[in-house]
Amino acid sequence: MAKILDKQRYKCAMAAMQTVQAIERAIPVLHSGPGCAHKLSNLIGNSGYFSPNIYPCTSLNEKDVVFGGAKKLHSTIENSLKVIDADLYVVLTGCIPEIVGDDTEEVVEQFADAEKPVIYASTAGFKGNNYIGHEKVIDAITDGLLSPSEEKIPGLVNIWADVPYQDEYWAGNYRALEELIRDLGLKPNTIFGYQRGIRQIQDIPKAEFNLVISPWVGVKNAKHMEKKLGLPFLHYPTLPIGAFETSKFLRTVGEYAGVPSEKVEALIREKEEYYYHYIERFADLFLETRVMSKQFSVVADAHYALAVTKFLVNDLGLFPAQQFIVDDTPKEFREPIRQYFEELNYGIKAETIFETDGYKIHNAIREHDYHGYPLILGGYWEKSIAEETKAHFLNISYPIQERLVMNSFYVGYDGGLRLLEDIYTVARSRFN
């Protein structure tokens, strides 16, 4: 039976156009109806390469539903190659061509000898949301552009983390992760963001290993690369925010990469001294903020819900109420993710709820006794329930409408300090 889903936090799989746009000089070529492109463009809210709201699109209509849109797709790709100066063209399919049976892959194969690479990802909306679409684009890159390499670049590590633009902090987070890897004496390789594009993609098979930093997104991609390219991978499920998790992250990656433990521990001592210097300066504020309850809830995808919960418990000593994961996490990953939420300091365990319906989430927050003014970190849609419950509210997850995010980040030691600044800026506003 059909039901209404209130305040959905994700888009359809074809919104993977945002993944393509995060690769410098890459262009999504959409094989879909015109409404799909327009609506997703408005929801994604980014410019990417070439134009803010203009994409090559077959703009399928009723006639194409009857007779198929393969010829129109061929023409669209052909003209895109002529008109748009890009390094990579990624064809993404909407629901219409997949329902009527267009052989998109066969059309794309006709451009195998084109001057610039053209690849294809099946991203019909009924195949999943944009997290799944993101994974399909990465698989398309692996299958369409990469092959095993005997050449290896010593210390090179491919980093896979945030879904670009779904997490508005993705650009800064990727750069902060790169810096942590450099601090270990390794060489980071990412394909998303400023000056990251086709050259970084070509280096993927030359890396020593893939590093997947996410509870679930990208794990299947890494397994696929391991099978096709012979690339081993390290899965680190928690985005490192603050001293506790970042130090653990550095030790884990350093051990896997064979970095001498003395070097890793010296680095951690240096970073933690810097971090705790600032924590100690403001310890009275953190301990004596009576206007904020010690309980909190996070409403975000698994990536942020886990990372922020660990930070607030392990670094700040707050206590988790229910934590809401809103990305429609695939069922096979849910139990492992629940276990991650039970690996907190002081024997604390967080109750994890996988829920995509904002109405149910807000009811659960409304019914919980936080023993004071709660702290709620979530999407903009949580602002109303935060006002109702007199909560402190910080807009950290999709949709973000409280702030402009350009290259800000929450990763690492500095990222943890920044998140503390944001939380206690909200809390101090109650002093007045």
Contact between 326 and 360 under an 8 Å Cβ cutoff? The reply is no
What pLDDT sits at residue 276? Answer: 96
Confidence band for 37, pLDDT divided at 50, 70 and 90: confident
Domain covering 156-260, topology:
Rossmann fold (3.40.50)
Q: So what's the pLDDT on residue 64?
A: 72
| Nearest residue to 72 (alpha-carbon basis) of 107, 112, 117, 38 | 107
pLDDT surpasses 60 at 131: yes
Condensed to tens digits (0 to 9), the pLDDT of residues 143-162 reads: 999 999 999 999 999 999 98
Q: Confidence class of residue 39 from pLDDT cuts 50, 70 and 90?
A: confident
Amino acid (1-letter code) at residue 165: Y
**Across 235-255, average pLDDT:** 98
- What pLDDT is recorded for position 124? 92
Q: How far apart are CA 72 and CA 4, in angstroms?
A: 35
Q: Decide if domain 273-431 falls under CATH 3.40.50.1980.
A: yes
Instruction: Pick the closest to residue 143 from 65, 62, 225 (CA basis).
Output: 225
Does residue 138 contact residue 218 with C-beta atoms inside 8 Å? yes
Q: State percent of the chain over pLDDT 90.
A: 80
How many residues belong to the chain? 432
Tell me the average pLDDT across 16-41. Answer: 88
pLDDT digits (tens, 9 = 90+) for 77-109: 999 999 999 999 999 999 988 888 889 999 999
Q: What average pLDDT score do residues 400-426 get?
A: 94
What pLDDT shows up at residue 46?
58
What does the pLDDT read at residue 26?
A: 95
| Spans of all domains in the chain | 13-145, 156-260, 273-431
d(CA 415, CA 264) in angstroms, rounded, equals: 19
Mean pLDDT across 304-309: 98
- Using alpha carbons, select from 304, 324, 296, 166 the residue that is nearest to residue 245: 304
Mean pLDDT of the chain: 92
Distance CA 100, CA 69 (A): 9
3-class DSSP assignment, residue 298 = strand
Closest among 138, 4, 5, 34 to 96, alpha carbons compared: 34
What residues pair up with 91 in beta bridges, in sequence order?
29, 120
Say which DSSP state 195 is in: T
pLDDT number for residue 52: 61
CATH topology of domain 13-145: Rossmann fold (3.40.50)
Tokens of 135: 């994974």
pLDDT of residue 198: 97
Give the span between the Cα atoms of 249 and 35, in whole angstroms. Answer: 43
Distances (CA, A) of 366 to 225, 376, 385, 389: 44, 12, 7, 7
pLDDT computed for residue 41 by the predictor: 72
How far apart are alpha carbons 225 and 181 in whole angstroms?
21
Confidence check: pLDDT of 61 > 60: yes
The Cα 346–Cα 24 span in angstroms is: 44
Whether 13-145 and 156-260 share one fold: the answer is yes
pLDDT more than 70, % of the chain: 95
pLDDT for residue 2 is more than 60: no
**Model pLDDT for residues 223-234, shown as the tens digit of each residue:** 999 999 999 999
In the prediction, which pLDDT does 69 show? 86
For range 251-269, the mean pLDDT: 98
Task: At 223, list the tokens.
Answer: 């397994």
pLDDT of residue 63: 83
What per-residue confidence (pLDDT) applies to 291? 66
Mean pLDDT of 329-333: 97
What phi, psi does 397 have (nearest 5°)? -130, 170
Query: What pLDDT was estimated at residue 48?
Result: 67
State how far the Cα of 98 lies from the Cα of 82, in Å rounded to an integer. 26
Q: Give the confidence band of 290 by pLDDT, cuts at 50, 70, 90.
A: low
Provide the pLDDT for residue 54: 75
